[in-house]
Structure 1
Amino acid sequence: MDKICLERFDSYGYARYICTSCYHCESKMGISYCSIKMRGCCSYFPKFELIDIHRMVKSAEGLNVLNRIIDNPGTVVYSYYIHAKGYFDKEGYEKYIKTNDDDSGIKDKTIFFRACPFVKSGFGCTLPPVYRNYVCNFFICDEVMSKVTDDEIKERYVRERERFVKWAEWENRSLEAILSERHINLRNNLEECIKVLQDVPLTIFEFAQLKELSVFDTDEKEA
């Protein structure tokens, strides 16, 4: 039996959902036809917003992570966010579309041929959890959630994620306003932005206490 639980990083006002099912992923989203196998659902090209960068600039470790993200060959720095693009087997994807009648139920078949630039086959994400964005830290696939029998606690996990996302969007707008008032942005004034964000105190989000969720496979449910 697998588990879903909340891991908190209280000093940063951040957290993540841990799902032990990810270590033996059977989700359709985890299928990989590209050269990077066993990458789970990490086909996503992560977008790091100001709230994520704000956490990074508060420590030497975080600054190293930020530099690693920027140095990634596929990374594009925009005014108020950074998009880290990874691996995409375009040739394999186009061949697959022409030769396969796929009924997987997944509309975007490119996910089978993509991989995050920071995922390692058989290991998972190589970025420390506290510096990942909230999409990465709070995503639980539908296949896993369908195996959770405690609907009340499951709904609390969903609501807590929604509550954090709304707060994060507000926090991003606030940080953007701080930079905009100084007429600086990440693309043109990265070092200045880092210095400003280092001087801005972190706003701490207080996560609710969430009970551990049990994830049952079909046989366990029927037992």
Structure 2
Amino acid sequence: MTFIWDQHNKQLLSPHCRQCRDPHFQRISEDFEPAGCCRYEPVFTLFELWKMVRSGEESFLKKEIWNHPQNHIYEYEIIAGAHMHSSFYEKREDGSIPSHVFEQLMGSQHTKYQAVDLRLKYGICPFFIKGEGCGLKPSFKTSICRMFICDSIEEALNKKELEKLHGIQRKVQEEANTFNSFHAGILREKGLDLIRHLDEVIDYLRQVE
């Protein structure tokens, strides 16, 4: 078995992650920190924010998630902006500047996915710790981070293992999606959102069982 299900924290783990071999997550330069799938910008939903509130970590939520200058706040989710390598803003040998190419690709719905892929080749999750991996408490990890297993690991699984993996992933996703859909609906009815009413949303989440 090339993956482990951590039932307590409801997360998938793999001993292969520290030596990531997946082609999609390889470094584009030797001076980049090896980070595997932590080349990602995590999306914190109401589900993760609720866990922070429930754990008494409201100060962490406010300082590191909501008030961080690199993060992008939307009505019911917050995207943690990646730490970008300096070469993202520098001219390459072909004369292009990655950050400029990114902006151009973002200008079309047809190339936005290419823009995201380009940006993440130069970025790394702000909660990544060199030599250790994710610096978040397991319960604060996003559902994507808790259920993600890369293609190179999946390809090594047999049919039974794949069925088990996909069953776990569905449960993790359904739990988060159900929570987010239900509580975003209530907050919307109340006229509250994370952009303008952080304290009120926290008060609401504090009451959720």
Q: Do the structures match in fold with TM over 0.5? A: yes
Question: What's the counterpart of residue 27 of structure 2?
Answer: 32
Question: What's the counterpart of residue 92 of structure 2?
Answer: 95
Q: Which amino acid aligns with 1:21?
A: H
Consecutive unaligned residues in structure 1, runs of 5 or more: 100-106, 202-223
CA distance in 2, matches of 1:75, 1:175: 22
Q: Kindly, what percent of the aligned residue pairs are identical?
A: 24
Alpha-carbon offset, residue 98 of structure 1: 6.2
CA distance in 1, matches of 2:95, 2:37: 24
Q: Which amino acid aligns with 2:21?
A: E
Kindly indicate whether the alpha-carbon contact (under 8 Å) linking 1:5 and 1:19 is maintained by their aligned counterparts in 2: yes
Spell out the pairing of 1:26-105 with structure 2 (5 A cutoff).
26-33=21-28, 36-60=32-56, 62-67=57-62, 68-89=64-85, 90-91=88-89, 95=92
Q: Deviations over 1:47-78 (max 9, x none)?
A: 11111111111012x32432322243211221
1:95 partner SS: coil
Compare relative contact order (CA 8 Å, sep 6+) and give the higher one, 1 or 2. 1
Cα pair distance change 1:110/1:75, threshold 3 Å: closer
1:190 aligns with 2:207: no
Choose which of 153, 159, 162 in structure 1 pairs with 2:167: 159
CA distance in 2, matches of 1:49, 1:97: 39
Give the stretch that moved more between structures: 161-170 or 14-23.
Answer: 161-170
CA distance in 2, matches of 1:135, 1:173: 16
Consecutive unaligned residues in structure 2, runs of 5 or more: 97-113
Alpha-carbon offset, residue 166 of structure 1: 3.0
Normalising by structure 2, what TM-score?
0.79
Q: Which amino acid aligns with 2:168?
A: E
Cα pair distance change 1:165/1:97, threshold 3 Å: farther
Structure with greater strand share of residues: 1
CA distance in 2, matches of 1:131, 1:156: 24
Q: Please give the root-mean-square deviation of Cα atoms over the aligned residues, in Å.
A: 2.3
CA distance in 2, matches of 1:59, 1:96: 49
Alpha-carbon offset, residue 178 of structure 1: 2.0
Spell out the pairing of 1:130-149 with structure 2 (5 A cutoff).
130-148=139-157
Kindly indicate whether the alpha-carbon contact (under 8 Å) linking 1:39 and 1:120 is maintained by their aligned counterparts in 2: no
Cα pair distance change 1:162/1:97, threshold 3 Å: farther
